[in-house]
Structure 1
Amino acid sequence: MKLSNVGRKNLVIFSLVIMLGLIGYINYSLNRQSLLQTSSELEQYRMTMLEESGVMLDLLEEDALIEEMEDQDAKDQDTEKQEEALEEGEKQEEKQETEDVLAEEEAQIVDSRSYNEVVGLVNETSAEIAENITNRETMKSSTYFIESRLERDKKRSEMISYLNDIINNQLTSEEIRGEAQTVKLDMITSTEKEVLIENMIVGKGFNDAIVYLTDKSVNVVVSADALTETDVAKIVDIIRRETNIGMEGITIMNKK
C-alpha cells in the first residue's frame, strides 16, 4: 500500500519533531553536566583562593576564638554561681549562729525567773494600782472612777501579758509555768469578784464604786459625801461574803 503525498509529508514532519526533541534533550543533559562540573570547579577554586589568601585560616581562628570565649563565659558563670552559693551558705551559718545565741540567752533569762520574782512583780503592780485608787489627789478628778478603772485594767492586762509570755515560752520550766498559771488564774478571779462587789455596792444605794482586790487585801472607794457606820457595815458585809479577807485587810474610802 503506497502512502499518499500528504501521508509522506506528515511522516517527515513527525520524524523531524522527534529528532528535534531528542537533540534538545541531549543538549540539556550536556549543559546540565557542564554546569555542575563548572560549579564544582568554581567552588574548589574559591576555597583554594581563600586558603592561599589566609582568609580561611582567619575564619577558622575566629570560630575557635568565639568558641573559646563562650567556654570561658560558661566557666565564669559556673564560678559565680559557686561563689554565690558559698556566700549564701555562710550567711545561713551566721544566721543560725545568731539564732542559737539568742535562744541560749533567752533560755538563760527564762531559767533565771523564779516564783518569787513573778510574785514580786505582781505585788509591785498591785501596790501601784492600790496607790492610784486611794490617792486623794486622784480623787479630786471629776472622772476619777472612769480613770481609775482604766488604769487598774491596763496594769492588770500588762501583768497577764507578762505571765502569758512565761507560760507560752517553750524554754520555761514546768514548775515556773505552773506557778505563772496559778498567779494568772488568781488575777482573773480577782477581776471577776471586783466587778461583782462593785455592782453589789451600787445596789446598796451608792452612785458609784471602785474595788481593787488582791489575795490579802481589798481597797474600796465609793461615791459619797461621807460614810456612816451603817454604810461601812454594808460594804464590809459584802466583802466578807464574797472573799476570805479579814477586817485588817479591808480599806474603805469615800470620794466626794
Structure 2
Amino acid sequence: MSSVRRRKNFVIFSLVIMLCLIGYINFSLNRQSLLQTSSEYEKYQMTMMKESGMMTEILDEGEVVFIEDEELLKEEDGLEEVSIVDSMDPSRIQDVALETSATITETLTNKKALSSNAYFIEGRIERDKKRSEMIGYLDNIVKSELTSSEMRNEAQTIKLQVIANVDREVKIENMIKAKGFNDALVYITDNSLSTVIHTDDLTQQDVAQIVDIIKREASFIPLDNVVIMNKK
C-alpha cells in the first residue's frame, strides 16, 4: 500500500515539475513571439505610411517635412535616450542590484513559496529569471555608446560579482547535497547568503556542516548575514 502511495506521489510530483517547465518555456516563447510580431507590425505600418504619403510631420505654420528614412525617427527617439543615460547617477545601478537582490530573497524565503511542492524548481526559475533581467539591464548600460566611463565600470563590476556569486551558489548547493541532503537552494548577494535545505529537520550537526561549507566558499559573507532554513 505504501509502495502504491509513493508511486502516486512521484507521479504527481513529476506532473508538477513538467507543468512548471512547460509554463516557463511557454512564457519565454510567447514573449519572444510578441516582441518579434510587434517589430514586424511596426515596420509594416511605416512602409504603408510612406507609400500613402502620410509619413509627414507638421512644423510651425503649416510647413510639411516628408520623412523618407526610418533612421531619422530612431535619431529623434535617441534624443530622449541621451538625456536619460547622461542624467543617470551611477548609484542608480547599485540601487537596481539591491532591489533585485531583495526581491529574490523575499521570493525564496516567504512562506507561500516554501509551502509549494515544487519549491526548488520554482525557486531556481524565479532566481535565474530575475538575475537574467538584471544582467540584461547591466549589459545595455555597458554596450551603450552614451554611457559614461564611470557608469560602465560600475555596471561591469556588479555584473562580474553576480557571475562569481552564481558560480559559488552552484558549488555550495552541490557540496550540501553531497552531505546527503535531498536538495539545496542557495542565493548570494554581495553581503548576505540565504539557503533552503530539503530535509525534514536540521540538527546542530547539519547546521555546522553547512556553515563550514559556506565559510570555505563564501568567506566574505559575515555569519550574521547567513540564513539557513529547511523545507520539508
Q: TM-score, normalised by structure 1?
A: 0.63
Aligned residue number for residue 138 of structure 1 = 113
SS at match of 2:195: strand
Aligned residue number for residue 206 of structure 2 = 231
Aligned residue number for residue 24 of structure 2 = none
Residue type of the alignment partner of 1:111: D
Distance 1:96 1:116 in 2: 32
Aligned mate of 2:185, from 192, 210, 215: 210
Q: What do residues 205-253 of structure 1 show as CA deviations (whole Å, max 9, x unaligned)?
A: 1100000001100000001111111111111110111111111110000
Aligned mate of 2:217, from 230, 242, 253: 242
Residue type of the alignment partner of 2:198: S
Distance 2:222 2:190 in 1: 11
Distance 1:123 1:239 in 2: 21
Q: What do residues 68-123 of structure 1 show as CA deviations (whole Å, max 9, x unaligned)?
A: xxxxxxxxxxxxxxxx9xx9x94247867644432221111111222211111111
Aligned residue number for residue 154 of structure 1 = 129
Q: What do residues 107-144 of structure 1 show as CA deviations (whole Å, max 9, x unaligned)?
A: 11111222211111111111111111111221111110
Larger proportion of strand: 2
Q: Which segment drifts farther, 101-110 or 223-232? A: 101-110
Distance 2:82 2:195 in 1: 41
Aligned mate of 1:111, from 86, 92, 111: 86
Distance 1:94 1:210 in 2: 52
Distance 1:170 1:185 in 2: 20
SS at match of 1:219: strand
Q: TM-score, normalised by structure 2?
A: 0.69
Aligned residue number for residue 121 of structure 1 = 96
Task: Supply the RMSD in Å over aligned alpha carbons.
Answer: 2.0
List aligned pairs for 1:66-215, cutoff 5 A. Answer: 90-92=65-67, 98-215=73-190
SS at match of 2:212: helix
Residue type of the alignment partner of 1:216: N
Q: Summarize the Cα distance change of 1:144–1:96 in structure 2 as closer, same or farther, 3 Å threshold.
A: closer
Residue type of the alignment partner of 1:254: N
Which blocks of at least 5 consecutive residues in structure 2 are unaligned?
A: 1-52, 57-63
Aligned residue number for residue 5 of structure 2 = none
Larger proportion of helix: 1
SS at match of 1:152: helix
Which blocks of at least 5 consecutive residues in structure 1 are unaligned?
A: 1-83
Residue type of the alignment partner of 1:224: T
SS at match of 2:66: helix
Q: Summarize the Cα distance change of 1:149–1:94 in structure 2 as closer, same or farther, 3 Å threshold.
A: closer
Counting aligned pairs with the same residue, the percent is 49
Residue type of the alignment partner of 1:245: I
Aligned residue number for residue 228 of structure 2 = 252
**Number of matched pairs:** 170
Distance 2:157 2:88 in 1: 15
